[in-house]
Structure formats: structure tokens, C-alpha cells
Amino acid sequence: MKLYVGNLPLSLTEEELKKLFAEYTSVISAKLIIDRDTNRSKGFGFVEFSSADEAKKAIAALHGKDCGGRALTVNEARPQAPRSENRTFKRRF
């Protein structure tokens, strides 16, 4: 099961995110979402667990918990919306 983790401190690393959740359960993977233009964290990421029970324990333990002065948002990740193949990109210069 995959969880969405929001309101993360921008200075948090993927390793720190993994350690934060590893205190409560075993983590399969942890991924921060990075802005491709600035190469900085967007302040959210995803953590994957082997079972739904472990993920629910992590939600109960960490949702609203303070992390670097921010209250974490932790909930079940929704499936990614399909992307259109004919997208046009507007780059800011």
C-alpha cells in the first residue's frame, strides 16, 4: 500500500523520510517529489509498505505529527490520473 505524505519540510531528504516511517513499520520505498526546474523538494512524497495494516498504523501514528515545524499530512495515495499524450508544455524563461 502506498501513502501520500504532504507538508514536508523542504530540507527533508528521502533517507530522512524513510527513517521517519521506519520507526513505526517496515518501509519498502520512500520517494520525494522534486521540482524539475529548481531540483528542490516540492514538499510532498510517497511511502510504500508491504501491507495495508502497516500503512494504517503509520497513518495513525504520523498524521498531524510535527516534522520540522510542520504538521504532516499522511493518507492513502490515490491512483495517478492518466496523462494526455498530446500535452503541450509552456516553459517559463
Q: Tally the domains of the chain.
A: 1
pLDDT class of 90 with cuts at 50, 70, 90: low
Q: Which residues pair with 2 in a beta bridge?
A: 48
* Among 15, 88, 21, 25, CA closest to 53: 25
88 found inside a domain? no
Task: Give a three-class secondary structure readout of 8-25.
Answer: CCCCCCHHHHHHHHHCCC
- pTM equals 0.83
Segment 42-89, tens digit of pLDDT: 999 999 998 899 999 999 999 999 999 999 999 999 988 887 665 566
63: cell is 498524521
Which residues form the domain of 32? Answer: 2-76
Q: How many C-beta neighbours within 10 Å does residue 33 have?
A: 14
Task: Answer whether 56's CB lies under 8 Å from 24's CB.
Answer: no
pLDDT class of 34 with cuts at 50, 70, 90: very high
Task: Answer whether 41's CB lies under 8 Å from 33's CB.
Answer: yes
Residue 93 has what pLDDT?
57
42 found inside a domain? yes
Residue 23 has what pLDDT?
84
11: domain CATH number?
3.30.70.330
